[in-house]
Structure 1
């Protein structure tokens, strides 16, 4: 019985290897995500999809306005770094030296490495103190809203980010109040490569 199962597994693996990229995309398993930035939604309200077999790490498969128009790009609050051709979480080490983190200057589309004032990856200055990403105690003042220290996907600044405690399957996700929306996600691969809609910038 073990031999039959091993042979079946081998056949499935060979089939996957021989499948070309288009078929791999069509047959890939994807997990729907919610577009956090309302102004980036497409006209048919199609959602970005997490497809690890199709997109590189830290990227989602984003829909365009045409039925077959899809492209891989950075997740919200991640920055595209051309030197490494990868997306990295803002205010974390990424491709930088051990005492630095990656951030996006306000006057640039290319992220840079800067000295982390806290000296430890995943710690950032928030309200004058070094706080760890994901800390809910630093955002306790927002109770009953459950929030944690993170990167605001719209402004790319360290902030209290409302946590989504709901399932990704069929349930609405609440949007943080007073979120200022921008038409093109700063720091994304499309932004760096000048593929954003200029009239909305």
Structure 2
């Protein structure tokens, strides 16, 4: 059966020689638990539709989809693209991109550590390392909290990359829609007086 399936897929690809690797989409885990009820629709990595470091997210309507930054990435308007938080990205040497408190626009901030390292409890620690979080259970890594866009020990989860619930269900901090003012706040149903 597997051989027939492989042959069938191969014939389709040969017949449609216009297909490239950029037209294939890969489903991603939804990191925002408030959005998992979108009729079983999940974000998709679709490079033919979205820019680098972006995913294709389900919107509010049945056929509504939008490109936006991956979780833990920040939209930088000057370059019109998404960059990983606490990494050099579009910044100068010895700087990294961060989202200041009470701001929607990320800024480049001096980083005394090398790119990929951050100051954590007074020393330079590698992002993605378990060493700074060794007393945590379940096991955790030093990473960007996709909800607060700050550093923290994020628990490892092998089924879903993150089980962090976003405080802002419609637009995570630092995403493209948030920076461009396109977030749609949740509204309470209107009560009509009879």
The two structures have a TM-score, normalised by structure 1, of: 0.77
Determine the structure 1 residue equivalent to 2:4: none
Q: Secondary structure at the match of 1:142?
A: coil
Larger fraction in helix: 1
Determine the structure 1 residue equivalent to 2:168: 182
Of residues 151, 164, 183 in structure 2, which corresponds to 1:158?
Answer: 151
- Quick check: 1:141 aligned with 2:135? yes
- After superposing the two structures, state which structure 1 stretch, 76-85 or 156-165, moved more: 156-165
Of residues 111, 135, 153 in structure 2, which corresponds to 1:116?
Answer: 111
8 Å contact kept, 1:42–1:65: no
Q: Secondary structure at the match of 1:130?
A: strand
Whole-angstrom CA distance in 2 between matches of 1:16 and 1:32: 18
Whole-angstrom CA distance in 2 between matches of 1:56 and 1:155: 23
- Once the two structures are TM-superposed, the CA of residue 127 in structure 1 deviates from its matched residue by 2.1
Of residues 175, 179, 182 in structure 2, which corresponds to 1:192?
Answer: 179
Whole-angstrom CA distance in 2 between matches of 1:53 and 1:81: 21
The two structures have a TM-score, normalised by structure 2, of: 0.79
Of residues 116, 119, 122 in structure 2, which corresponds to 1:128?
Answer: 122
The 5 A counterparts of 1:9-24 are 12=17, 15-16=18-19
Whole-angstrom CA distance in 2 between matches of 1:42 and 1:56: 25
Structure 2 vs 1, CA of residues 164 and 52 (structure 1 numbering), >3 Å: closer, same or farther?
farther
The 5 A counterparts of 1:11-160 are 12=17, 15-16=18-19, 28-41=23-36, 43-118=38-113, 120-143=114-137, 145-160=138-153
Per-residue CA deviation, residues 70-105 of structure 1 (Å, 9 max, x unaligned), is 011000010000111110000100000011000011
- Once the two structures are TM-superposed, the CA of residue 138 in structure 1 deviates from its matched residue by 1.1
- After superposing the two structures, state which structure 1 stretch, 100-109 or 31-40, moved more: 31-40
8 Å contact kept, 1:123–1:132: yes
Structure 2 gaps, min length 5: 1-12, 188-194
Determine the structure 2 residue equivalent to 1:4: none
8 Å contact kept, 1:44–1:65: no
- After superposing the two structures, state which structure 1 stretch, 29-38 or 83-92, moved more: 29-38
